[in-house]
Structure formats: C-alpha cells, structure tokens
Structure 1
C-alpha cells in the first residue's frame, strides 16, 4: 500500500473510494479496510486523516452536496437579477440532490445518518451552504431584488424551507396522482421562494 499526501486529489481518491463502497453496500456495511483497499492506500494512511468511517462519510457528503449546490447556481450573466438566480439555483439544487445516487442509497439503506442534521445540529455541509446563501442574499439586498432583512437569519430560514423539500418531498407525493407529483411540488417551492424573497 502507498501513502498519500494531504492534498485535494489524494483526498478525492479516498472520497471516490468511499462513495463507491457506500453505493455498493451502504454505510453500515462499509469498513475503513474496504475503503483503503479500493483507494489503494493503507488503513493507517486513512486513520491519520479520518479517525473513523463517520468522519469520512461526512466529508464525502459535504463534497457531493456542495458540488450539487455550486453546479445548480446560475452565473451572474444568466439571470435578470440576483433573486432570480437564487430561486433558480435552489430549485435546481433540490432537483439534482433528490436525483443523486448517494442520497438515494443513504435514504434507502441508512436514513438515520441524516437525522442529526435534521433534528440536532448543523453539519459542515449546512454551514457551507449557509455561507454561500448569505453571500447571495447580500448581493440581492444590494441590487434591490431581495427583501432586506438580517442576512444570516434569512439564509437559515431559506435553507430550512429548501431542506424540507429536499429531504421530505417523497412523503408528500403520490405515485398514482399526477397532480401531486414532485415536479408540481418543485413549482410550489419556486413560488414560496419568490414570495419570501421579493421585496
């Protein structure tokens, strides 16, 4: 086994390996030995950076979910104002997140992993998303397209709304009722975001 340095590409190799393991067997059945073998490194190399599998999976989720968020947000040139870009980006982000294979695997096999971030505390992903959202809301305050209020509190309220659609939407949809499908609900999310952010 080789040793890896602590740079981005090395970390990504390990995170790719844990993603592949989780997609194959779920989190509970994945071991650090499995990850090390798939990444081509020693277990001691992993332990130097990640004390346990939970930390490693947490870093994986942060990487994957932040990638979803950044891909979903339109460039400044793609919208008439900041509010439009925020709303479009958040709805697109929820759509991509709900389609993400890692999210599906966790939801189907290890849903308890998500509970602490819903009921008890904010995780690294949520903190990073709040920073991105707060910065975008401040831009909207400056260009007059977003209702001006305390930006950090506004970001938290918006993330609470978006998070409920991302995590719980399937509890409110019915496969046999086209009027209650996910696409229609995402339209409702767009309306809610527009109305809460419009000055």
Structure 2
C-alpha cells in the first residue's frame, strides 16, 4: 500500500508540537505563543453544523472551568471558514446556551490538519478526523487520541488522561489501569536485590508482588 507524505510526517508522542500561525475565532494567533508555558489540548472535528461535532465541541466548552483549573488551554480546528465557525458558535449558544469561547482554527487550506496528521485519506480526504493532541508546557506531544468521523470522544477520558499526565510529571510515578485522580499510584519496580528485599519487607505498600505495588500520594 502506498504511503502518502502526510502519513509519513504524522507527529508522534515525544515529538515537539509543530508550531503554526492561524486565523481563529479569537483572531490570528501563533500556536507557541498561545500556549505560553501551559498545557494545551489541540483537537479537530470534521465540520461545523454537524450533530456529533456539536456535542463534542460543546463538551469542551462545558468543561472549560475544569481545563482552566488544570492550567490547560483549548484550541479547536476544522476545515471550515472563519465565517462558518462564527455562525456555528452563535447558533450553538442560541440553541443550547453553551458558548465555545476558546479559539477554533479556520483551516481552509488544511495546513494545520496536514501538519498534525488529522487528514487520514482512508477515512476522508477533505475532513479532519477527531484527533486530540495533549501538549505539555515544553511543547512536547505527550498523548494522542484518534477517533473516526462517526464516533464521538469521551470527555471524562480526556480529562482523566490530562490529570494522569500532570500527576505523573509532578510526582515522577506511573499510573495503573483506570487510574483516577486521588487513587493509588504505581511504585517504580526495584532495580537491585537490596531494593527487592526492602520492597518485600515493606508492609506499608499495597502489593501484588515485589514488582507490582501501589501507594497513596
């Protein structure tokens, strides 16, 4: 199967987040300046005035206070004009009371969508898939989610992953399956026989075995 250029340059976890300048619903912005040392979520949707996208983008707006508390900036994208974006934001606010006041990129030339691998030809050549890029304050891509056009994202999982990344960075720990904020974290496995012996003797830990143990933060 032939590989297109867009597919070969898709950003990966650990890469620097590609910088760009774009027209958005809050005006022209430079992405690196907009992040300004904070976490960021860059997310795409296929098209304005479509049902699944309306529920998703409204979901980000409804949780705006949560993202603010997590010191995280939001920026959306679709391959629509700025006029379409503004009309859609107004329409959603008028019909639901939800105001999407975070910037939404008008990516008519598909520049940003291609830069981030949001165009996936086997799904669509003209609409961005539902992608979410988690970008840290050092502008590194830390986690990527991709969804097809016909399946909406899970906002609880997006928030859970963001909290997990921030917790892992702050405390230098790993996190188990289904971890949620406030739950026990994984203790790094021992690297020497002495550390293993100490781990076995440590009754303060929640242990399955010496290599799998949890503790409270």
Scaled to the shorter chain, the TM-score interval is: under 0.3
| Higher fraction of helix | 1
